[in-house]
Structure 1
Amino acid sequence: MLTPRTPASPARTKAARRLWATALLASAVCLVAASAPATPLGVGDRLFPYLGNPGYDVASYDLSFTYPGTNSKPLQAVTTIDAWTTASLDHVNLDFAHGKVESVEVDGEAAAFSSAGEDLVVTPEESLPEGSWTRVTVRHTSDPVSAEDRDGGWVRTADGLAMANQADAAHLVFPCNDHPSDKAMFTIRVTAPEGYTAVANGLPTGVDRAGRATTWTYRTQHPMATELTQVSIGRSTVLRRSGPHGLPVRDVVPTKDRERLEPWLAKTPDQIVWMEEKVGPYPFEAYGLLMAEADTGFELETQTLSLFERDLFTEPAYPKWYVESIMVHELAHQWFGDSVSPRTWSDLWLNEGHATWYEALYAEEKANRPMEDRMKAAYGASDRWRAAGGPPAAPKAPKPGQKISIFRPNVYDGAALALYALRQEIGRPAFERLQKAWVSRHRDGVATTADFVELAEEVSGRELGGFFEGWLYGEKTPPMPGHPDWKSAAPAQTAAE
């Protein structure tokens, strides 16, 4: 996610999901209790304690947005959630925090609702038994955030809106179970006035015109985490081309910038080919770039349609090789983070470390920017990164009021450094087999750091518990295999120390 633009530092199966939801229900501190008052819940995520909700497993979302023709007013919206209950529920908690709820129905019947923290607490007429199929429909507004709010949700662009929901912001847009452990299918409908174009995750399934408005419908063919949802509404042009094996590649650009941006967009099919050679077949039904005229400060791997700031491609200060490597970073996330999603936010290094790895590898192979040089520099800073943000697999909690502050150097180059150490330790052939096996075994699912360690041991035929303990959880950076001369600078002492 949130690939920072800093040129100086380039940076389930259904049964399994139900078992995971049940485990979360048993371990979460806050559980749904009979006749309990409205209270915010969570699935016990170490970094975001109130994110997600126990007691059910979402199968699908149906999202409907009506755009009023200005990005300063709320959108009218309807969110329909189909889910299996994994416990008996008197209340259904949904994450939702930035809109007005007009009504709620559960299985077609009106339901009471109230707010608790950042939760919408729904109380159906009758309790929902464990193992039942239920449909919750919420009619609400969906409010764009202020231009100063960098924590995500709807992002205001020069001509409309886009989404940036990572890590804890999809519930600023629509009611949901806002945790990556509960992936689901999505259908997204957007109605906008004449002159606007709407694009969303997945493939288009319909375009309906009525008077001076048009409704676009998109549907995913693979499960998706809420934080990866994307909707673009603007005075845009959709450009289409073919990727490997006939993969649909569609890009969304401001119409006025179409010709200027085309040379960059033309690079995507070859980049997909390059990634497939490294890790195997592209995992989704489509890909493309959404180039938004917005000031976000980051790029984002929203599933099948990665979000980029237009200025990344139009600002001459950014070297060509750097821009291309950032394109590959977000592309790599389609395998690492999107298809294989983190089970908890502490597993974030699996997303960002791998995307940074392929960003650096691409720069090495295509622009003669040696991986070893970048990793040596990262090693020199690693102890400082660990002191500031925690080790790669145990990042420190976000700063108060800054949810995206979990995206620190320790989970980017710090995590890529751990992968470099692993390649040094087990050898290049085993490392490359591991990468392919990881995205194949966990495709369309969620996985943990422990899963990665287990697979690394299986592929390499070696016990690696001690190796990973130091590299992923140690306060200090272990010696680099093959490079005993590498040194990491000690963190600066604070005045209190």
Structure 2
Amino acid sequence: MPHTPSRLPAVRPGRAPRLKRTAAALVAAATSGCLLAAWSPPPAAPTPQGLGDRLFPQLGNPGYDVTDYDIALRYRGRNDRPLSAVTRIDARATAQLARVNLDFTHGKVRSVDVNGRAARFATAGEDLVISPARVVPRGAPLRITVRHTSDPRPARGSEGGWVQTRDGLAMANQADAAHRVFPCNDHPSDKARFTFRVTAPKRLTVVAGGLPTGRTRHGADTTWTYRGAHPTATELAQVSIGRSTVLRRTGPHGLPVRDVVPTADRAALAPWLRRTPGQLAWLERRLGRYPFENYGLLVADARTGFELETQTLSLFEKRLFTDARYPSWYVASLMVHELTHQWFGDTVTPRTWSDVWLNEGHATWYEALYGQGRGGPSLDRRMHEAYLQSDTWRAAGGPPARPALPDPGRKISIFRPVVYDGSALVLYALRQKIGARAFDRLERLWIETHRDGNAATSDFVDLASAVAGRDLTGFLHAWLYDRTTPPMPGHPKWRQEASAQARRS
């Protein structure tokens, strides 16, 4: 999933209210007979901000906390032209704000209002820099309305945001691409509820994360409205537009399960999608109740090279299910991988991008557990093989909780092997250290403690220590931050084998 930034098209500053010229603006200086005009320094040039994330320092913006996004999109049935859009952001100022920065690029801004008044705006890097007509006090509500376009055409040298499918569009916003679709505070630490209002030709079906709240036909178009019941990180928002069929079934406890598939492929895909309720039940036995209002798969007729855990509606390539070269156990375990993310990554979201091992390590762990009884390798064998590769992965991609910086121009390159099997190996070591019963209790307690919120690696270390009844800081620090892989508890020969392999290579 290589994502790279693109330059924001130049936009003209918003028009501010015209000030009446009065004689009071000029003051007669009686002592010198000269006219003196009031003077003030020119405003400072707009500058991009960021939250200083170690991996993506320019993502996100300080000074406010978003509670809701309401995003209206108009799609005219073609992928070669921008969508018209209106994004309304409800937030609360956490500092006094004379300027407000949003992340936004790959679209043109037509106007901006702040708390009902027209605001000036300019661009700086990939930021939309807004100057409200009035300073926003700390603690005050903040409503920003941006009228803009959202361009589905890929920018040269970059990917991410809108994914063009054979019959429409879908979203893939991880890790830094939501702001290529709509203005936002594009960092996982600022989760908010989303409402999408999408107008499209009536021959197309629109589905988004969350629950449907309305559908209105007007002429040749239909407007579909969806609202998420839980906070969502910007990178996990999802909208699908296309010639689709929605397949419905029921999961555990009456959970609505809806899958969105190309209409022409519904029969071929149905056998795979019928597995989801059983997979939900399998994970609930290990992690507790599914955390959201519904779930399903969005199967896209597109070449993405990845699957993605967008909240309540995971994105999958169609070819994963139609290419006979993929073993059945492998396909099913990848379905479980993305489903696991609804617990690890979606309801409990990393505080920074360096904490992403908590997402991918857990998703890989349960993927491996599920696969081992269905034709895949045993968990022990997979972790043994990962251990033999771990030092190589750490040298290339950094340790699990301190991943190396992304490759130039390829921000998605943080998703290296050390983040997947290399991070699942940390969990394996922890279970070896504290025992299976304590590990299973930790997993459930982690979700219960941080549901609908954000959590960091330090939170996981603290909770693991509390569950184990002893301080695991030193043990986990070595596994999470050291450049070389520590000895595996219960498997002393693994270290010898890894050393022998390193000498041979």
Q: Same fold (TM over 0.5)?
A: yes
- TM value normalised by structure 2: 0.90
Going from structure 1 to structure 2, the CA distance change for 1:368 and 1:174 (only over 3 Å counts) comes to closer
Distance of 2:445 and 2:94 partners within structure 1? 31
Say yes or no: does 1:112 pair with 2:86: no
Alignment match, 1:26: none
Query: Hey, what does 2:135 align to over in structure 1?
Result: 127
Q: Is the 8 A contact 2:202 2:217 kept in 1?
A: no
SS in 2 for 1:354: helix
- The offset of 1:365, in angstroms, is 3.0
Aligned counterpart for 1:485 among listed residues 493, 496, 500: 493
Q: What is the match of residue 275 of structure 2?
A: 267
- Partner residue, 2:366: 358
Matched to 1:351, the amino acid is N
Amino acid at match of 2:179: H
CA–CA distance in structure 2, aligned partners of residues 117 and 148 of structure 1:
16
Partner residue in 2 for 1:467: 475
The counterpart of 1:280, out of the listed 288, 311, 320, is 288
State the Cα distance separating 1:492 from its structure 2 match.
8.1
Tell me, yes or no, if the aligned pair for 2:46 and 2:123 is still in contact at 8 Å. yes
**Equivalent residues of 1:381, 1:489 under 8 A apart:** no
- Whether contact under 8 Å (2:329, 2:376) holds in the other structure is no
Partner of 2:13: none
How do residues 97-496 of structure 1 correspond to structure 2 at under 5 angstroms?
A: 97-146=105-154, 151-367=159-375, 369-486=377-494, 487-488=497-498
Q: Distance in 1 between matches of 2:448 and 2:213?
A: 28
AA aligned to 1:96 is F
SS of the residue 1:401 aligns to? coil
**What code does the residue aligned with 1:367 have?**
G
Give the drift of 1:37. Answer: 2.5
SS at match of 1:138: strand
1:316, distance to aligned residue in structure 2 (A): 0.3
Equivalents in 1 of 2:501, 2:117: separation in Å? 59
1:166, 1:227 within 8 Å by CA — same for their partners in 2? yes
Question: Any gaps of 5 or more consecutive residues in structure 1?
Answer: 3-33
The TM-score normalised by the length of structure 1 is: 0.91
1:240 aligned counterpart, secondary structure: strand
Task: Tell me the alpha carbon deviations over residues 144-184 of structure 1, each in whole angstroms, 9 at most, x when there is no partner.
Answer: 14287663100000000000000000000000000000000
**Separation in structure 1 between the aligned mates of residue 155 and residue 97 of structure 2, nearest angstrom:** 38
Asked if the contact 1:289–1:306 (Cα under 8 Å) also holds between the matched residues in 2, the reply is yes
SS of 1:485 mapped into structure 2: helix
* Partner secondary structure for residue 60 of structure 2: coil
**Secondary structure at the counterpart of residue 446 of structure 2:** helix
Note the C-alpha offset of 1:323. 0.1
Note if contact 2:330-2:376 (Cα within 8 Å) is conserved in structure 1: no
Count of aligned pairs: 462
CA distance, structure 1, for counterparts of residue 168 and residue 156 of structure 2: 16
CA distance in structure 2 between the aligned counterparts of 1:94 and 1:120, rounded to whole angstroms: 5
Question: Offset at 1:368?
Answer: 5.5
Give the counterpart letter for 2:337 in structure 1.
H
What percent of counterpart residues are identical?
66
Unpaired runs of 5+ in structure 2?
A: 3-41
Partner residue in 2 for 1:59? 67
Per-residue deviation at 1:194?
2.2
In 1, are the aligned partners of 2:79 and 2:153 still within 8 Å (CA)?
no
In the superposition, relative to structure 1, how do residues 367 and 150 fare at CA in structure 2: closer, same or farther (>3 Å)? farther
- Is the CA contact 1:152–1:166 (under 8 Å) kept in the aligned structure 2? yes
> Which protein shows a greater Rg?
2
Q: Which amino acid aligns with 1:372?
A: D
Question: Which amino acid is 1:228 matched to?
Answer: L
Report what 1:6 is aligned to.
none
Q: CA deviation at 1:490?
A: 8.7
The alignment yields a C-alpha RMSD, in angstroms, of 1.6
CA distance in 1, matches of 2:154, 2:465: 47
CA 1:143/1:491 → structure 2, altered by over 3 Å: closer, same or farther? farther
Q: Counterpart of 2:369 in structure 1: which amino acid? A: L
Which one is further off, 358-367 or 231-240? 358-367
Instruction: State whether residues 384 and 490 of structure 1, in contact with CA within 8 Å, keep that contact through their aligned partners in structure 2.
Output: no
